[in-house]
Amino acid sequence: MQIKKHPILGEKFTEEITFYFNEKPLKAMKGQTVAAALMRNGIRKFGVSRKLFKARGLYCANGRCTSCYVTINGLDHVLSCSTLVEDGMNVHSNESDPDVGGIYN
Amino acid sequence: MKTDLLIIGAGPAGINAALTADAAGAEVILVDESLQPGGQLRQQTQLFSNLPKNKKKTRGTSLNNHLVESLNASNVKVLSNHAMVGSYLNGNIGVTDGFKTFEIHAKKYILATGAQEEGKIFPGWTLPGVMTAGAAQILINRELVLPGKNAVIVGSNDFAFEVIKQLRICGVSIKAVVEDKDQLQSEKQDLLSDLGNITFLTNSTIELASGSGEVEHVSIRTPSGIKELEADFICISNGFTPILEPFEVMNCKFTYKEILGGWLPAYNMNFQTTNSNCYLAGSAAGITTLGPILLTGEIAAWSVLEELEFISPREAHNQKKECWEELMTLENNNVFQKRTEIIADSLLQDNWNPKSYFTELQGGQIHG
């Protein structure tokens, strides 16, 4: 659901890139955040809550609410609303708490 | 890192403070956690009037471009994508880019942290497709992405109506506006008449938002019974509250003024908090409109410049007086009234010596 030509701001993005969500290739515009890149492809469920595994997605878009966590290039719990999408980026939905004994410790 | 003035938050208040201080010769670092400066002004496509210095009516986005251009042309050191994460025992502020954390020693600080949106809780409020009005506005105006096709709006304040207008011109259909009070909250009649044909449900609340993994269906409790709507997007506009964590970190005292957004830091005529090195500006000093936000940034900057002796007390006095006079004319009367109450309280505090007070109270002895 990309707005091709904004009624006030006109065209803003020019370069199309490819990223991967749960291994599936998707198109996005360079300059968009990961959250927007997912939503333009109709994906609004970014993951599940930590305890009851309820669907979660973009809520505040400002980096405060942490509802939009995804895993980016292997790093868990990244704010998709505050991270720019990049060509070839690997994004995975957030299905649980990070493995604290994992590779980043 | 060392500087004269460190400003946290590069929204309109922080930028205006930075530009004012920079023009007077102070060394300024401006820190913001977002990828670009501008704060929430970046996606405000609505027109703003009541701006300082007789500035004519302008779109928020145009004013933002102008502010950021001035910032780029100045000597202000801008650290975007950097967040304030704490303070050290020596009073320095800790800043991180997500990988490295370092400390910044500044002679004075201005915290211009802005405001956060208040949520609204109803069954299903955590489903994807439910978001704040600010988030919807970021999606359409910053990201050029539609948050959904059929929207239910919760709340009827000025901001809700601005966002409704912006959603509509991008092609979103507004199914209903749900307001739990008995009348619409926006008092701007011109905004309302711009909206034209729209379903307003007052005395109503959301009974349930449901769907498989995202919002598909909304049940609304109205005085005439339950109304069922097919909607994929719920947009919450329930007002703003000041962002306070950095003030807690800096040991500032707080006060409560409902009209200004609830809890907020106490401050004096110079926009100086109870921590004498910490000043504040913008919505953190009380929820208000864009004109006053710019002016509070300027007053804080003049106060810092005076304190650091970049300008004479006489010049500082004149500049601040000019800003205060403009603030008084531009700001909503009730908001300005509460602001002056905070300042009046601070004057009382200055004369209040806790030690002698308790000495009198306890007959010459301090207990506990």
Residues of B in contact with A81 (CB under 8 A): 135, 138
Q: Are residues B47 and B149 in the same domain?
A: no
Return the residue of A nearest to B169 by Cα: A7
Of B33, B129, B143, the CB nearest to A36: B143
Q: Are residues B108 and B179 in the same domain?
A: no
Q: What percent of chain A has pLDDT over 70?
A: 94
Flag if B170 and A6 touch (Cβ within 8 Å): yes
Q: Are residues B186 and B259 in the same domain?
A: no
Return the residue of A nearest to B212 by Cα: A55
- Pair of tokens at residue B232: 């994929």
**Which CA distances in Å does A19 have to A26, B145, B210?**
5, 17, 30
Q: What is the residue whose two structure tokens read 């601005």? A: B162
Taking only Cα atoms into account, the Rg of chain A, rounded to an integer number of angstroms, comes to 14
Residues of A in contact with B169 (CB under 8 A): 7-8
Q: Establish if B359 belongs to a structural domain.
A: no
Q: Establish if B368 belongs to a structural domain.
A: no
Q: Establish if B220 belongs to a structural domain.
A: yes
Of B33, B132, B145, the CB nearest to A59: B132
| Phi, psi angle pair for B209, to nearest 5° | -110, 130
E strand or H helix at B65, and its extent? helix B60-73
Which residues of A, range 86-105, sit inside 8 Å of B by Cβ? none
Task: Judge if ipTM > 0.85.
Answer: yes
Q: Is the pLDDT score of A64 beyond 60? A: yes
**Which CA distances in Å does B261 have to B239, B242, B254, B340?**
8, 6, 12, 15
Q: Is the pLDDT score of A105 beyond 50? A: no
Instruction: Answer yes or no: are the C-beta atoms of B198 and B165 closer than 8 Å.
Output: no
Interface with B, mutate which of A15, A39, A48, A58 (most B CBs under 10 A) = A58
Of A39, A56, A82, the CB nearest to B126: A56
Taking only Cα atoms into account, the Rg of chain B, rounded to an integer number of angstroms, comes to 22
Flag if A55 and B214 touch (Cβ within 8 Å): yes
Q: Are residues B246 and B101 in the same domain?
A: yes
Tally of domains in chain B = 2
Q: Are residues B111 and B167 in the same domain?
A: no
Rounded Cα gap, residues B348 and B243, in angstroms: 25
Pairing mode of beta strands A75-79, A69-72? antiparallel
CB of A27 within 8 Å of a chain B CB? The answer is: no
Q: Are residues B42 and B88 in the same domain?
A: yes
Q: Are residues B87 and B225 in the same domain?
A: no
Q: Establish if B312 belongs to a structural domain.
A: yes
Q: What is the pLDDT along chain B (368 residues), one digit of tens a residue?
A: 999 999 999 999 999 999 999 999 999 999 999 999 999 999 999 999 999 987 899 999 999 999 999 999 999 999 999 999 999 988 899 999 989 999 999 999 999 999 999 999 999 999 999 999 999 999 999 999 999 999 999 999 999 999 999 999 999 999 999 999 999 999 887 887 877 789 999 999 999 999 999 999 999 999 999 999 999 999 999 999 999 999 999 999 999 999 999 999 999 999 999 999 999 999 999 999 999 999 999 999 999 999 999 999 999 999 999 999 999 999 999 999 999 999 988 887 765 555 555 555 444 444 43
pLDDT of res. B366: 42
Interface with B, mutate which of A29, A44, A78 (most B CBs under 10 A) = A44
- Pair of tokens at residue B358: 């308790």
Q: Nearest Cα to B235, choosing from B156, B326, B325?
A: B156
Rounded Cα gap, residues A12 and B212, in angstroms: 33
Q: Establish if B41 belongs to a structural domain.
A: yes
Q: Are residues B168 and B304 in the same domain?
A: no
- Pair of tokens at residue B292: 């006053």
Rounded Cα gap, residues A27 and A16, in angstroms: 7
Distance from CA of B114 to the nearest CA of A (A): 12
Q: Are residues B137 and B210 in the same domain?
A: yes
Environment class of residue B183 by beta-carbon count within 10 Å: exposed (0-12), middle (13-18) or buried (19+)?
exposed
Q: Establish if B142 belongs to a structural domain.
A: yes
Q: Are residues B139 and B34 in the same domain?
A: no
Among B236, B270, B303, identify where a domain stops: B236
Average predicted confidence (pLDDT) for chain A: 92
Q: Establish if B67 belongs to a structural domain.
A: yes
Rounded Cα gap, residues A22 and A48, in angstroms: 14
Go through B281-298 and write b for each residue having 16 or more CB atoms within 10 A of its CB, e for each that does not. Answer: bbbbbbbbbbbbbbbbbb
CATH of the domain at B141: 3.50.50.60
Q: Are residues B109 and B157 in the same domain?
A: no
pLDDT of res. B194: 76
Q: Which domain holds residue B128?
A: 120-236
Q: Establish if B274 belongs to a structural domain.
A: yes
CB of A78 within 8 Å of a chain B CB? The answer is: no
Of A9, A49, A58, the CB nearest to B135: A58
Domain formed by A16-93, architecture: Roll (3.10)
- What is the distance between the terminal CA atoms of chain A, rounded to a whole angstrom? 39
Return the residue of B nearest to A29 by Cα: B143
Go through A34-51 and write b for each residue having 16 or more CB atoms within 10 A of its CB, e for each that does not. Answer: bbbbbbbbebbbbbbeee
CB under 8 Å to B122, separation ≥6 — which residues? B154, B205, B206, B207, B208, B209
Q: Are residues B23 and B106 in the same domain?
A: yes
Flag if B138 and A6 touch (Cβ within 8 Å): no
